[in-house]
């Protein structure tokens, strides 16, 4: 198949591109390199077509890049909580209007399958665990809202225009090529940079809160399977189906710890009900959390250029988070 991957120089995108190339597919990557890195594609750069382009820019049409494309994987997007609170307009432009542009280009090209990278953040603070695809939707911050709006566009275009679209709600992915620069965000990047700098790992609250972490190799495996056999207009959770506490992650990584205040709008638990995707695709995640973290530690120097967050800098960075999301 000839595949187009938006955001293909990013964390999930670059791992997916490598997977597609290994399977013998042709790949075109669209990325504006605002958060992605060309170095993430070093292993496959001679085997892909890379286009530096902004999917929100209507003045430069992206339609031509979709000619003869079979599968579209729409992974481009902005993905941090704090910046979305500070600057929601940019998140709307990329995650909503950018998605509309991808849908229109895909519709025009009559592609065979479109996979949308949605987010489990749409569930907010769930009432039910494990959380299935029919659970209450309650986004807590602009990032979560804009990813949900993007998903609604994808599903609406499937319904109205009979496009072969599928939405995958990703839980907490981790693994190689994850971002090492920019805003305060994913726990693994924060912890690994702190460990390298011999600084204490910053534990939010009591550290008992859990997340459903899925290794990126498991994630891209199921993404390809869905492209091969996914049904039009479906939504699937993508997680490990296991929950791991932040303290456990810190213990496996190793090092001193320091506690920082718990943030509003964050769930105490995250656990995906993945029974639907497992049964539909005969799929099972393979990489356990301890194995996945050990793999990361072998390549910890990848985070040498990452910002080293301290309790003081985190407090400053998350001021707007506490101010706007705390209950009055």
Q: Which CATH number fits the domain that encloses residue 120?
A: 3.40.50.720
221 and 140 housed in the same domain: yes
| Number of structural domains the chain divides into | 2
- Read off the CATH number of the domain in which 305 is found: 3.90.25.10
Q: What pLDDT, on the 0 to 100 scale, is given for residue 217?
A: 98
pLDDT at 150: 98
Position 278 in a domain: no
Q: Which residue of the set 65, 91, 141, 143 is catalytic?
A: 143
Task: Please state the φ and ψ torsions of residue 253, each to the nearest 5 degrees.
Answer: -65, -40
Using alpha carbons, list the distances in angstroms from residue 140 to 95, 137, 264, 265.
16, 10, 9, 6
Residues 127 and 255 both lie in one domain: no
Residues 191 and 318 in one domain: yes
Q: Is residue 277 part of a domain?
A: no
Q: % helix / strand / coil in the chain, to the nearest 5?
A: 45, 15, 40
* Whether residues 64 and 187 fall in one domain: no
Is the domain of 234 the same as that of 246?
A: no
CA atoms within a 13 Å half-sphere pointing along the CA-CB vector of 204: 23
pLDDT by residue for the chain (328 residues), tens only, comes to: 999 999 999 999 999 999 999 999 999 999 999 989 999 999 999 999 999 999 998 666 899 999 999 999 999 999 888 889 989 999 999 999 999 999 999 999 999 999 999 999 999 999 999 999 999 999 999 999 999 999 999 999 999 999 999 999 999 999 998 876 655 567 898 999 999 999 999 999 999 999 999 999 999 999 999 999 977 899 999 999 999 999 999 999 999 999 999 888 788 999 999 999 999 999 999 999 999 999 999 999 988 888 888 999 888 888 877 877 776 4
Angle at Cα 79 formed by Cα 207 and Cα 105, nearest 5°? 155
Shared domain check, 252 and 202: yes
Residue 37 counted as domain residue: yes
Does a structural domain hold residue 206?
A: yes
Q: How far apart are CA 94 and CA 77, in angstroms?
A: 6
| Residue 7 maps to a domain | yes
User: Is 143 among the catalytic positions?
Assistant: yes
Domain span at 312? 175-212+242-270+288-325
Nearest-angstrom CA–CA distance, 201 and 255: 7
Q: Is residue 283 part of a domain?
A: no
What integer pLDDT is reported at residue 177 of this predicted model?
Answer: 87
Residue 223 sits in the same domain as residue 135? yes
User: Distances from the Cα of 278 to the Cαs of 14, 171, 239, 272, 290, in angstroms?
Assistant: 24, 15, 10, 12, 22
């Amino acid at each position: 198949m000839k595949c187009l991957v938006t955001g293909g120089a990013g964390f999930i995108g670059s791992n997916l591109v490598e997977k597609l190339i290994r399977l013998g597919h042709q790949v075109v990557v669209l990325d504006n390199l605002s958060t992605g890195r060309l170095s993430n594609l070093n292993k496959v750069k001679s085997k892909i077509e890379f286009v530096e382009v902004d999917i929100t820019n209507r003045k430069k049409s992206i339609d031509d890049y979709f000619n003869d494309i079979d599968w579209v994987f729409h992974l481009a997007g902005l993905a941090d909580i704090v910046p979305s609170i500070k600057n929601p307009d940019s998140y709307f432009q990329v995650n909503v209007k950018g998605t509309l542009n991808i849908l229109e280009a895909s519709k025009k090209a009559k592609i065979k399958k479109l996979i949308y990278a949605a987010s489990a953040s749409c569930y907010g603070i769930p009432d039910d665990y494990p959380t299935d695809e029919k659970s209450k939707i309650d986004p807590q911050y602009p990032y979560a809202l804009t990813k949900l709006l993007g998903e609604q566009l994808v599903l609406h275009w499937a319904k109205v225009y009979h496009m072969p679209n599928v939405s995958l709600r990703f839980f907490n992915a981790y693994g190689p090529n994850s971002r090492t620069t920019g805003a305060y965000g994913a726990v693994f990047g924060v912890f690994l940079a702190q460990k390298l700098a011999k600084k204490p790992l910053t534990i939010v609250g009591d550290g008992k809160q859990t997340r459903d972490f899925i290794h990126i190799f498991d994630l891209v495996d199921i993404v390809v399977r869905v492209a091969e056999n996914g049904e039009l207009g479906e939504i699937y959770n993508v997680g490990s189906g296991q929950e791991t506490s932040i303290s456990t992650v810190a213990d496996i990584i190793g090092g001193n710890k320091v506690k920082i205040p718990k943030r509003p709008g964050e769930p105490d638990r995250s656990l995906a009900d993945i029974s639907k995707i497992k049964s539909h695709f005969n799929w099972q995640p393979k990489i356990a959390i301890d194995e996945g973290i050990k793999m990361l530690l072998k390549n910890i120097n990848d985070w040498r250029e990452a910002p080293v967050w301290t309790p003081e800098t985190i407090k400053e960075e998350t001021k707007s988070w506490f101010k706007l999301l705390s209950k009055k």
